[in-house]
Chains A and B, each alone.
Chain A
Amino acid sequence: MRKVDLLIIGGGPAGLAAAVSAYEQGCRDILILEREDTLGGILRQCIHNGFGLHTFQQELTGPEYAQKYIDRVIDYQIPYQCNTMVIEITKEKQVTAVNRSNGLQHFQAKAIILAMGCRERPRGALAIPGWRCSGIYTAGTAQKFVNLEGIMPGARVVILGSGDIGLIMARRMTFMGAKVLACVELLPFSSGLKRNIVQCLDDYDIPLLLNHTVVDIAGRERLEGVTVAQVDPETKRPIAGTEQYYACDTLLLSVGLIPENELSRMAGIDLCADTGGPSVDENLQTSVSGVFSCGNVLHVHDLVDFVSEEAAKAGAKAWRYITDTLDKNLKSMPIISGFGVSGAVPQKIHVGNADQPVTLMFRPKNVYKNAKVCVTAGEKEIYRHSSRILTPGEMVSLKLTPEALRQISDAENLTVKVEAS
């Protein structure tokens, strides 16, 4: 059993930023375990630009953004193992991993940071009727084929779901000579960024069909076409008579991301039904002491910049845990997602631990114009901010100041909610 102070599971943007931050705080015994053959995670295949405006005040592509962190990991000589899969984590912070050069390895960590990212919701989970032919991919898998393998999955494409990866792939497939016929979205709004809708769809005259879905898949062997129908915005049921057939050989799915928490579940970590990730406190510590979580395994982010910021915090707090300087035995209170709020992170907060601001993130449940975001502790309002628009496509990130946090000690809980006008 090898001992290590800080074990980081995942060498994507979250894992890298956590490692860099822990190192900069003073941690010298770190190990990053990465399942792919190089560091960088999903950014390796995100070759489009738009990353890093917050963090580096520069517009970078995914590989460039990742490289900035990889360079620091290498400069600091932080050890990492690629092609390494973690297969077990226990409550006692023992970790089992495998790779070709070391075989089966057992680690005893003082602290663990979970940074495994997320996966895409597949066709099966949507139960779309029709044939089970080839030519149906999640947008991310298609992105990997095109950008990393240099292979086009198809030539005539329909995209189901208007998440950012789907939008980005609409443009990429168009760039690479494919014809993208439509982007089909079940909801009355897109969950993608406005910029991506304009620059990936509008620029290339790709229609965005809101309140529509794919109701049938044709093609015994390779996909031959899909039937798209309008849905009732209330019930989400297809409206008979609105069916349109699109002849296509490829259907890309961009219908949601799911934090990948099988290892967390194995370790007995409490998971939050709203986010799909672990329930954490303001230090990003999970229900298992010394196990921290950040990035898309905690909750799905829109911007990698926010992932880096969150991960840096996890790294710093893990170091404080290791050095036993993290405040303990404080009273904790739950953070409740109120009206219009989905999946607030963190899920709880410690009272009296108010030397630093606490970042609270959530996704609006709907589109709200000229709305206010409020945080209340019992009857007391400790935060209020007006916003011209809130949409599910853009995560809200707010900071509770130490002054605000000092007012909450006698409350039962904190509630974050939207006040729509």
Chain B
Amino acid sequence: MLDVIIIGGGVIGCSVARSLARYDLKIALLEKAADICEGQSKANTAIVHGGYDAKPHTLKAKYNVLGNQMFGTLCTELDVPLKWNTSLVVCFSEDDIPKLEALKKQGEINEVPKLRIIGREELHKREPSLSPNACAALLVETGGIVCPYELTVANAENAAENGVLFYRNAEVTKIEKGDSCWVVKSKAGAFETKAVVNCAGLYSDAINAMVSEDAFKILPRRGEYYILDKKYADVFHASVFQLPTKLGKGILVSPTVDGTVLIGPTAEDILDKSDIRTTPQGLAKALKFGSLTWENIPLRDVITTFSGIRAHSDRDDFILGEAPDAPLFFNASGIESPGLTSSPAIARDLADLVAERLDAKENPNFNPIRKAIPKFREMDDLERAKAIAANPDYAKIVCRCETVTEAEIREAIRRPVGAQTIDGIKRRTRAGMGRCQAGFCTPRTIQILCEELNLSPLEITKFGEDSKLLHSYLFGKGEQRHA
């Protein structure tokens, strides 16, 4: 019998798993995809928001500001890159300055510290590449950027090291009331558990409906993005937003912690929750509005485009806490932006609540520290020489665009909740995320996956299920295993 099952391996599920691991509980996390971080946690704006944007007195406002304050410690403990680069909300007409003022006031009600309106001169001094049409901005000192997948993976690894069990390819199909427990039926088997935490993102409404009459609906909202080459790492310093609209915070242009530039997202209500296609209209729109901030976006240096789907709830706020009619079933639902920023605070409060209801003791052995895979590209010469001496695989660079070594790729596979797919390796190491988009490194990465997992190249997938990369051996001959 388990104490807690967490459904969903996104940033919320993995953060809850880590927070719950502080208690002496038997915990498992079930993820329907082949890897953790396959939903909206892998495809979002990667911003640690200040908290000016959320409507006052909502859960979004509360957890945004709380989460923001926790991010520094969190990223230190988990060894995740975080940069306090500030955010700017710019306007392009003097007439809109009152809207910035209103935004500032809203932020102050939310208790966002150090908000300031800056004029044209300071704005362009800070951001020389900004369109000359930008005339004023709200400066958010507490805005930052983080890598959302590294954060999710780090939470998962740390949770696993502290005893949480992870099951992937484990879609939950049914939850039944058992003998003073819940029975969670999944594609990875049935589990008995005292408590369930629903962190199923876009599908959290369906999971909730399995046990509760207190229904809500998740309305998928798609956003499309562009990523530009690292060449432009220094073009913008802050994350530059435009004045928010009803559908969201508008199109931003932002540096990422990895040195690329992100432009997006659009906001489009769609019907199919899994429809992560990019569209000609969406991409054109991202570009059109992005160009207001950054004129003449260098399209020849686009690395890739993608879309992410936000789990917008019909209650228009986060849905957190125990379901009123299902004891020991907890929801963390409707988590859209600022969900990433809120994740540490949501996870802490939810874990505390679950622990209290289960009367759990603290876990005396909990270790909050997780070390990242040492990155060759970030080492100095001395560290490189040392790393190579300890592990010669550090001398073999597999992904040349992002300078990722074989040692890093092998470690990403061997770690707890390790990579088993090409995309899993990509998110854990950045191999294949650079300007050639995996053209050069895919054959070698496949080979390493085969060696580590004792698979044939024909079994390797991009992201599980039927996303196989290769078709057959020449002449249909001899399937030889690599290892």
Contact = CB atoms under 8 A, between A and B. Distances in A.
Interface of A: 35, 83, 85, 87, 96, 98-100, 103-104, 119-120, 122-125, 127, 129-135, 137-138, 140-141, 144-146, 148-155, 176, 215, 220-222, 249-250, 262, 265
Contacts of A176: 474
Contacts of B278: 127, 129-130, 132
A98 B277 CA distance: 40
Contacts of B394: 98
B465 A221 contact: yes
A381 to B, nearest CB: 34
Interface of B: 226-227, 231, 274, 276-280, 282-283, 300, 302-306, 381, 384-385, 388-389, 392-397, 400-401, 403, 435-440, 442-443, 457-458, 461-463, 465-474
Contact of B436 (A83, A98, A119, A129): A119
A129 B467 contact: no
A151 B396 contact: no
B466 A221 contact: yes
B279 A153 contact: no
A221 B422 CA distance: 13
Shortest Cβ-Cβ A-B pairs, 10 listed: A124-B304, A122-B437, A134-B462, A221-B466, A221-B467, A85-B397, A134-B467, A103-B388, A100-B392, A98-B395
A129 B277 contact: yes
Choose among B302, B396, B467, B471 the residue with the greatest number of A CB atoms under 10 Å from its CB: B471
A119 B283 contact: no
A131 B385 contact: no
Nearest to B230: A262
A176 B471 CA distance: 12
Nearest to B456: A151
Given A124-B305, A130-B278, 13 more contacts: A35-B397, A87-B403, A104-B388, A127-B283, A129-B305, A131-B276, A150-B473, A152-B472, A153-B469, A221-B463, A221-B465, A250-B471, A265-B231
A268 to B, nearest CB: 14
A398 B394 CA distance: 46
A124 B437 contact: yes
Nearest to A122: B437
Nearest to B394: A98
Contacts of B461: 134, 221
B403 A127 contact: no
15 contacts: A98-B388, A103-B395, A104-B384, A134-B461, A134-B467, A146-B474, A149-B457, A150-B474, A151-B471, A151-B472, A151-B474, A153-B469, A153-B471, A155-B471, A222-B466
Contacts of B396: 83, 85, 99-100
B309 to A, nearest CB: 13
B462 A151 contact: no
A103 B458 CA distance: 33
B469 A134 contact: yes
A30 B474 CA distance: 40
Contacts of B468: 134, 222
Contacts of A154: 471
Given A35-B397, A100-B396, A176-B474, A151 B458 contact: yes
A100 B392 CA distance: 5
Contact of A129 (B279, B437, B462, B465): B279
Nearest to A133: B467
Contacts of B473: 150-152
Contacts of A120: 436, 439
Contacts of B388: 98, 103-104
Contacts of A134: 461-463, 467-469
Contacts of B463: 134, 221
Nearest to A253: B439
A230 to B, nearest CB: 15
Given A35-B400, A131-B276, A125 B474 contact: no
B38 to A, nearest CB: 12
Given A104-B385, A151-B474, A133 B303 contact: no
Contacts of A222: 466-468
A180 to B, nearest CB: 14
Given A122-B437, A151-B472, A100 B466 contact: no
A152 B474 contact: yes
A151 B471 CA distance: 7
A155 B470 CA distance: 10
B462 A127 contact: no
A134 B389 CA distance: 37
A85 B400 contact: yes
A119 B166 CA distance: 39
A104 B392 CA distance: 10
B472 A155 contact: yes
Contacts of B438: 122
Nearest to A119: B436
Nearest to B433: A124
A103 B385 contact: yes
Contacts of A99: 395-396
Nearest to A106: B381
B445 to A, nearest CB: 12
A280 B231 CA distance: 22
Nearest to B422: A134
A141 to B, nearest CB: 5
A119 B439 contact: yes
Contact of A141 (B226, B306, B400, B439): B439
A48 to B, nearest CB: 16
B75 to A, nearest CB: 27
A132 B443 contact: no
Contacts of B389: 103
Contacts of B457: 149, 151
A103 B389 CA distance: 7
Contacts of B306: 132
Contacts of A129: 277-280, 282-283, 305
A124 B439 CA distance: 11
Contacts of A137: 439, 442
Contacts of A127: 226, 278, 283, 302, 305
B470 A138 contact: no
A35 B231 CA distance: 23
A140 B439 contact: yes
Contacts of A144: 443
A144 B278 CA distance: 29
Contacts of B458: 151
A125 B303 CA distance: 5
Nearest to A98: B395
A146 B394 CA distance: 28
Contacts of A124: 227, 302-305, 437
